[in-house]
Amino acid sequence: MSASAKSEARVVVITGAGKGLGRAFALHAAVSGARVVVNNRRRNGEPSSADAVVAEIKAAGGDAVADDHDVRDAGAAQAMTHMALAAWGRLDAIVLNAGVNGPAARFSNQTEDAFRDVLETNFFANLAILQAALPHVIASGAGRVVLVGSSAGLYGVRGRAPYAVSKGALIGLGLTLSHELRRDGVGVNVLAPYAATQMTAETMSAQPQIGARMTPEAVAPLATWLASAECDANGEIWVAGGGYVRRARMMEGDGAVFAALSDVPAALEAGRAMQGATGFAGAEASFADFAAKGAR
């Protein structure tokens, strides 16, 4: 990369980037010209996985620095942000990938502590990073935020209620930020990936023919694009895996009037047909449409 091109290279913080999807995202972003803060927690007595990924990036001619914080640690969000600014003087995009599955159990066997533990990593740690990084992402003039969600947050999943709740909260946060930050030129999108990783090993091993093509590397180009200045998507949810991507969207269909208890079954049956299904650019637009149609 030339000196002039390097001065224009975007700076991206990627969390949970020591392995799996995050590692693939970091390597692809760096190969594509970005300068990357590679975050991954360092476990006691183990070598730094963030350092290992940075070494891979530098061996390929890229530029990166390592951060070993657990995203849940006090001050971790500020440290990552400071690292980007100290190394390159700017921060253009954040890819919030760090997450945990939490315990596998029916809801009746889950504890409140299990919910709090998963939410601490999958939601509140991401919230802290957003609060620390957003002023600098806005200042870049073409800031981008990529929140790594999950289809579990869209549809639910048996035996993983804490995980589904945390990802649903993250999706709601991302959609809200997409409205609030639009005028600041910041694009905010949610990526819901399917990939064979340590976290999904049990699921993917049951379908080896599918798991073979669902590599983290097959999702990485989309993450790089969503973090790029050229990306014009905002407030969108993208489900991706195996080199295939499609958009997910909240929809509301035409409704039906009910006035008494006896009217409710027929009204619900009409609603299930989802005739005239429409998506809305925010809760305000949804309510305005609902109020207009419901008043007829």
Of 155, 163, 194, 244, the catalytic one is 163
Contact 236, 210 (CB under 8 A): no
Neighbours of 143 (CB within 10 A): 25
Residue environment code for 40-75, b if the CB has 16+ CB neighbours within 10 A, otherwise e: bbbeeeeebbbbbbbebbeeeebbbbbbbbebbeee
Tokens 């299930």 correspond to: 272
Measured between alpha carbons, how far is 279 from 50 in angstroms, rounded to an integer? 40
Those residues whose C-beta lies under 8 Å from the C-beta of residue 107, and which sit 6 or more positions away, are: 161
If phi > 0 it is left, if psi is from -120 to 50 it is alpha, else beta; for residue 159 that is left
Contact 84, 64 (CB under 8 A): no
Neighbours of 146 (CB within 10 A): 27
Contact 142, 185 (CB under 8 A): yes
194 is catalytic: no
Helices (H), ranges, 60-190: 76-88, 112-119, 125-139, 151-155, 161-180
Contact 21, 196 (CB under 8 A): no
Minimal CA–CA distance to 54: which of 40, 70, 69, 75? Answer: 40
Measured between alpha carbons, how far is 131 from 25 in angstroms, rounded to an integer? 22
Positions annotated as catalytic residues are 163
